[in-house]
């Protein structure tokens, strides 16, 4: 293991933080780092450019068994990070972003499984990205950082898995953009994945999803302080990034959840102000979300990660336009889950991937879960969701003859 590469890292925190009141926690965890390409070739990207050196920030919890067959890789969503569960210190007020799901006795049970979660390249939470130092200039890359793809992210994760001495992953799990990485793993490295669990995701962005990302990117680039990506010494484009987050956050919710949370209720007033302050609770909420996001994320990283999501197209990359052909490369078992109120990646997109899987005779389980909270439902408490993942992994463990004993 190597130390974290020098970069302007941002404090890592998740999309949603929900405390688990059962007291079952993995406890203290630490951010680790794996670096490759320091001497010799780094990573040749899909764009044709080479990135070197490359650092991945990652976190592990649970224990790897003696034959190294109980490892599960968790892939985070767009602006998540490697801090998936537990706490960084005794007085840390917030756990990792999926603490509800990862821990002793939880669906991703650390008494049984060795959990790995890494921050994607292009991010700003310790992995190589626009905030990292360009070795050629010793300045932050900024907008000179090469455009990366979901495939590039997954190839970096494979290098990490190799570094940990793991030949085959028991499962790869992730939601949203993390689900795209799961799908990529399953067709790029079919002999290295027993099971794949893509959640609330898609095989390619719709025109609408691309449109929302483009508006968010334009909000950042229209901020004068963005300065063509060269702002690390002069001040960040906080207003543009906050607006971009507000746009994105709307797509994560649903009409029903917004009615339930806010409706047309006023914020700290009894009548309209007749000015441009935040009259409504939903306005105040979005402003709060935008301002909070600025504290923990980098604007350039937001540009790169949304572009990577827009570029993702599994059927073109692996099937010459056919999902059936793309999934002909796969051999793992799948659990595909969508949510009724997710209008960012609606259920019809999950059904399309399931159809492509089944036409190849793959072992596929699919469920659309009734949930009112929109796209972010996979990050929130849901007993049915928990039961589906727990049951699926139990079946995979039985098929692979994996238990919790014989730990290293």
Structural domains in the chain plus CATH codes? 32-203+323-400 (3.40.50.1820), 211-306 (1.10.1740.110)
pLDDT (tens digit per residue) in 95-124:
999 999 999 999 999 999 999 999 999 999
| pLDDT given at position 12 | 41
Binding site, annotated residues for substrate: 245, 376
Catalytic-residue membership of 176: yes
Where does residue 272 fall: left (phi above 0), alpha (psi -120 to 50 degrees), or beta otherwise? beta
Q: Which residues 6+ apart lie within 8 Å of 264 measured at CB?
A: 280
Catalytic-residue membership of 342: yes
φ/ψ (deg, to 5) at 269 = -160, 165
- The segments of the chain whose pLDDT lies below 70 read 1-23, 403-408
Q: Which residues 6+ apart lie within 8 Å of 247 measured at CB?
A: 212, 215, 216, 219
d(CA 175, CA 191): 22
Where does residue 325 fall: left (phi above 0), alpha (psi -120 to 50 degrees), or beta otherwise? alpha
| pLDDT given at position 223 | 98
Among residues 176, 257, 301, 341, the one annotated as catalytic is 176
CB atoms within 10 A of CB 277: 12
Model pTM?
0.94
The bridge status of strand 333-339 relative to strand 364-369 is parallel
Binding site, annotated residues: 245, 376
Among residues 76, 205, 239, 375, the one annotated as catalytic is 375
């Amino acid at each position: 293991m190597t130390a974290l590469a020098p970069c302007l890292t941002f404090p890592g925190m998740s999309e949603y933080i929900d405390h688990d009141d059962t007291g079952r926690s993995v406890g203290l965890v630490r951010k680790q780092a794996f670096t490759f390409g320091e001497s010799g070739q780094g990573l040749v990207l899909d764009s044709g450019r080479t990135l070197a050196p490359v650092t991945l920030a990652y976190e592990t919890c649970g224990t790897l068994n003696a034959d190294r067959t109980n490892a599960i890789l968790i892939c985070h969503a767009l602006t998540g990070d490697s801090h998936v569960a537990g706490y960084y210190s005794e007085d840390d007020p917030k756990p990792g972003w999926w603490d509800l799901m990862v821990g002793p006795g939880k669906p991703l049970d650390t008494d049984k499984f060795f959990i790995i979660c890494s921050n994607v390249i292009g991010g700003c939470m310790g992995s190589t990205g626009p905030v990292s130092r360009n070795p050629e200039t010793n300045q932050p890359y900024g907008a000179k950082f090469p455009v990366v793809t979901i495939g590039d992210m997954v190839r970096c994760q494979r290098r990490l898995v190799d570094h940990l001495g793991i030949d085959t992953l028991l499962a790869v799990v992730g939601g949203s953009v993390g689900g795209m990485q799961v799908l990529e793993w399953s067709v790029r490295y079919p002999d290295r994945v027993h099971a794949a669990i893509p959640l609330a995701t898609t095989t390619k962005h719709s025109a609408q999803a691309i449109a929302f990302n483009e508006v968010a990117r334009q909000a950042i680039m229209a901020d004068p302080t963005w300065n063509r990506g060269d702002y690390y010494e002069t001040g960040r484009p906080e207003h543009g990034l906050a607006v971009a987050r507000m746009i994105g956050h709307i797509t994560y919710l649903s009409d029903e959840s917004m009615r339930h949370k806010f409706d047309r209720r006023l914020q700290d007033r009894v009548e309209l102000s007749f000015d441009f302050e935040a009259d409504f609770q939903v306005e105040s909420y979005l402003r709060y979300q935008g301002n909070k996001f600025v504290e923990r994320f980098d604007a350039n990283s937001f540009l790169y990660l949304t572009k990577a999501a827009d570029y993702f197209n599994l059927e073109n990359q692996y099937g010459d336009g056919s999902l059936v052909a793309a999934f002909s490369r796969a051999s793992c078992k799948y659990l595909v889950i969508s949510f009724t109120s997710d209008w960012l990646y609606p259920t019809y997109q999950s059904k399309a991937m399931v159809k492509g899987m089944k036409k190849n005779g793959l072992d596929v389980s699919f469920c659309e879960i009734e949930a009112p909270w929109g796209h972010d439902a996979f990050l929130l408490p849901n007993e049915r969701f928990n039961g589906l993942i727990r049951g699926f992994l139990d079946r995979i463990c039985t098929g692979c003859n994996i238990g919790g004993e014989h730990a290293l």
